[in-house]
């Protein structure tokens, strides 16, 4: 088996690359270990808590005991299925803030400023504003990825935005447009009532071409001869074989599996590879380092009125909603229920938002366990730019062994200060008049959690990953010893090998990572093809005029 381009991983970036390379007439072979994404658990937006917790669709990774979070092991779901994590995620669509990408450029990723990436965000999306206003000029009109908004019919969605305005924050019609900062509608990768994953958007259309195919196999390492990647060793059943790449091998296997594959192939920190008896082909200390993620907690309120989704939280209603969705792709099943959002700055002197909110009109956990108290609602909240850094490393030289993942969450003292501000600012929002008709009392953290020490203890015990790992194959300049790939995704020190997924992010972006991961696939495809990048945009994003002196 061979192709011009062999892509490892049919996830967010890999599907986008397969589509664009196939469109350009190249022969493409995608290797994916996971199976089909057919079936209602993945395709029905409201069922999002199921696939994330099913071994069939998830690699099932856990962190090592996290030393600053009471040695808890946190779950780190990664999609093992067609569409990758875009088939098991919460479907929230956030591009990131303009200044995130300017920071990428400033840290050595030449050509990845906001002006450079905005045209790719436009190219990849078809935006449905649903008649709710928003920023048409900044958005895409004919891309493969459909982005929509939920109906926001529940009064709590409006209460959340009103409370934000009453607390003195901005409102924004479109956080993916000119102005991210503020309270407004949340966007989702849902189209015609179905999860619009990278598989639905990119891979299915790509596979209709004769020059694009997918094979189900477990990638074990990149085969490198004379300093050049020539293929990928895979296991299929009990047999190991090599799939050959005539032009290039492209790793798009996630921020956990891409560095793992590089290290198994002899590319990584030399001492670590030697430990495991792996021959060093390129000593790149940054492989697996720079690991970042978003932590979040659920701030939960008990509701004084039965307006929340709790009334549907029983088998009868779940059956009715499921049946309605199966037959019409409409109703409650057709939304992820994250329909209002906010991005705010935690203090004066912070130039752009560093706290994100997902608002949900039920008090429930990601694993589908409802709050004990019945009717309630919650905001998922957490800081966006933690200074803590972790590492992905090998457990052994056996590709079948899961890697070691240590996020090292909360290892930087500033993280604790950010979290305290986060909890207190959120309480202030829930205390506004707009919530007066709906709030009974605070379930979590609970009104008795007030001092710095009490808040710290709550975070230590309850903070969870928002499932946004990235950064482990950092993109940067060739003279940056910690960079793994250059600004075109080429692995430094090896020919014919690229990485294109969230592992190349120099720093984590504001919000959920699916949109920037797909953008990376779109833009890297142009680099692979040797095309001139899309013309840079001259549009000026909004920054709070008084950010230096005011928090809101």
Asked if residue 28 belongs to a known ligand binding site, the reply is no
Q: Is-catalytic flag, 244? A: no
Of 7, 62, 33, 50, the residue nearest 406 (C-alpha): 62
Measured in whole angstroms, the distance separating CA 36 from the mean position of its chain's CA atoms is: 21
Catalytic residue (choose from 103, 191, 380, 468): 468
Asked if residue 52 belongs to a known ligand binding site, the reply is no
Asked if residue 316 belongs to a known ligand binding site, the reply is no
Is residue 247 a contact partner of residue 267, using CB atoms and an 8 Å limit? Answer: no
Of 222, 196, 119, the residue nearest 473 (C-alpha): 222
Q: Which CATH architecture has domain 2-529?
A: 3-Layer(bba) Sandwich (3.50)
| Residues across the chain | 552
Beta strands 212-216 and 28-32, pairing class: parallel
**pLDDT reported for residue 136:** 83
CA distances from 462 to 69, 356, 445 (A): 9, 17, 9
Take residue 107 and report the two structure tokens written for it: 């840290």
Asked if residue 92 belongs to a known ligand binding site, the reply is yes
Is residue 135 a contact partner of residue 174, using CB atoms and an 8 Å limit? Answer: yes
- Per residue of the chain (552 residues), what is the pLDDT tens digit? 999 999 999 999 999 999 999 999 999 999 999 999 998 899 999 998 899 889 999 999 999 999 999 999 999 999 999 999 999 999 999 999 999 999 999 999 999 999 999 999 999 999 997 666 667 889 999 999 999 999 999 999 999 999 999 999 999 999 999 999 999 999 999 999 999 999 999 999 999 999 999 999 999 999 999 999 999 999 998 999 999 999 999 999 999 999 999 999 999 999 999 999 999 999 999 999 999 999 999 999 999 999 999 988 888 999 999 999 999 999 999 999 999 999 999 999 999 999 999 999 999 876 666 666 789 999 999 999 999 999 999 999 999 999 999 999 999 999 999 999 999 999 999 999 999 999 999 999 999 999 999 999 999 999 999 999 999 999 999 999 999 999 999 999 999 999 999 999 999 999 999 999 999 999 999 999 999 999 999 999 999 999 999 999
Take residue 353 and report the two structure tokens written for it: 């938002």
Take residue 193 and report the two structure tokens written for it: 């009532």
Q: What is the 3-state secondary structure (H, E, C) of 372-419?
A: CCCCEEEEEEEECCCCCCEEEECCCCCCCCCCEEECCCCCCHHHHHHH
User: Cβ atoms within 10 A of the Cβ of 484, count?
Assistant: 32
What are the boundaries of each domain within the chain?
A: 2-529
Residues 10 and 181: their CA atoms lie apart, in Å, by 33
CA angle 240, 242, 248 (to 5 degrees): 150
User: Cβ atoms within 10 A of the Cβ of 140, count?
Assistant: 18
Residues 549 and 282: their CA atoms lie apart, in Å, by 47
Residues 476 and 112: their CA atoms lie apart, in Å, by 10
**pLDDT reported for residue 365:** 72
User: What's phi and psi for 245, nearest 5 deg?
Assistant: -115, 120
3-class SS of residue 516: helix
Which residue's entry shows tokens 């457990």?
395
Identify the helix (H) or strand (E) that includes residue 15: helix 12-23
Tally DSSP H helices, then E strands, for the chain. Answer: 13, 25
Kindly report whether the peptide bond that precedes residue 445 is cis, defined as omega within 30 degrees of 0: yes
Q: Is 23 exposed, middle or buried (0-12, 13-18, 19+ CB in 10 A)?
A: middle
Is residue 475 a contact partner of residue 505, using CB atoms and an 8 Å limit? Answer: yes
Is residue 232 a contact partner of residue 243, using CB atoms and an 8 Å limit? Answer: yes
Is residue 329 a contact partner of residue 193, using CB atoms and an 8 Å limit? Answer: yes
Asked if residue 439 belongs to a known ligand binding site, the reply is no
User: Cβ atoms within 10 A of the Cβ of 269, count?
Assistant: 19
**pLDDT reported for residue 86:** 98
């Amino acid at each position: 088996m061979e192709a011009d381009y062999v892509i490892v991983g049919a996830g967010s970036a890999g599907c986008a690359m397969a589509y664009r390379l196939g469109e350009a007439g190249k022969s493409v072979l995608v290797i994916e270990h996971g199976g089909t994404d057919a079936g209602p658990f993945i395709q029905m937006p409201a069922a999002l808590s199921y696939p994330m917790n099913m071994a069939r669709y998830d690699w099932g990774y856990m962190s090592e005991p996290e030393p600053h979070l009471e040695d808890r092991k946190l779950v780190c779901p990664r999609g093992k299925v067609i569409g990758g994590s875009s088939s098991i995620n919460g479907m929230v669509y956030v591009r990131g803030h303009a200044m995130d990408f300017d920071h990428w450029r400033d840290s050595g990723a030449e050509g990845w400023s906001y002006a450079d990436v905005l045209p790719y965000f436009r190219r990849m999306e078809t935006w449905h504003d649903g008649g709710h206003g928003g920023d048409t000029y900044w958005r895409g009109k004919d891309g493969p990825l459909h982005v929509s908004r939920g109906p926001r019919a529940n009064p709590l969605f409006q209460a959340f935005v009103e409370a934000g305005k009453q607390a003195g924050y901005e409102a924004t019609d479109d956080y993916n447009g000119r102005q991210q900062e503020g309270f407004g509608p949340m966007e989702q990768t849902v189209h015609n009532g179905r999860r619009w994953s990278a598989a639905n958007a990119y891979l299915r259309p790509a596979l209709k071409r004769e020059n694009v195919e997918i094979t189900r196999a477990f990638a074990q390492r990149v085969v490198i001869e004379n300093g050049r990647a020539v293929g990928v060793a895979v296991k299929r059943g009990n047999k190991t074989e090599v799939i050959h790449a005539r032009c290039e091998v492209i790793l798009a296997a996630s921020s956990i599996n891409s560095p793992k594959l590089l290290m198994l192939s002899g590319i990584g920190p030399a001492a670590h590879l030697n430990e495991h008896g792996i021959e060093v082909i390129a000593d790149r200390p940054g492989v697996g380092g720079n690991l970042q993620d978003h932590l979040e907690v659920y701030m939960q309120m008990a509701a004084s009125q039965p307006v929340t989704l709790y009334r549907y939280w029983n088998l009868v209603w779940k059956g009715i909603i499921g049946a309605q969705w199966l037959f019409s792709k409409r109703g409650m099943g057709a939304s992820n229920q994250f329909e209002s959002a906010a991005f705010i700055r935690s203090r004066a002197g912070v130039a752009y938002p560093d706290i994100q909110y997902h608002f949900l009109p039920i008090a429930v956990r990601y694993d589908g366990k409802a709050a004990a108290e019945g009717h309630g609602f919650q905001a998922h909240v957490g800081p966006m730019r933690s200074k803590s850094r972790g590492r992905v490393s090998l457990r052994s030289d056996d590709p079948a062994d899961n890697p070691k993942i240590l996020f090292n969450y909360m290892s930087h003292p500033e993280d604790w200060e950010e979290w305290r501000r986060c909890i207190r600012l959120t309480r202030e929002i829930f205390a506004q008049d707009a919530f007066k008709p709906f709030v009974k009392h605070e379930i979590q953290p609970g009104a008795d959690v007030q001092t710095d020490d009490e808040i710290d203890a709550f975070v230590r015990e309850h903070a969870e990953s928002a499932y946004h790992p990235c950064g482990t194959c950092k993109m940067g300049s060739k003279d940056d010893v910690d960079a793994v790939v250059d600004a075109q995704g080429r692995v430094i020190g090896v020919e014919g090998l690229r990485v294109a997924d969230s592992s190349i992010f120099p720093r984590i972006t504001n919000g959920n990572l699916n949109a920037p991961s797909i953008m990376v696939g779109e833009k890297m495809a142009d680099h692979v093809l040797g095309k001139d990048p899309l013309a840079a945009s001259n549009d000026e994003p909004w920054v709070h005029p008084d950010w230096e002196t005011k928090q809101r």
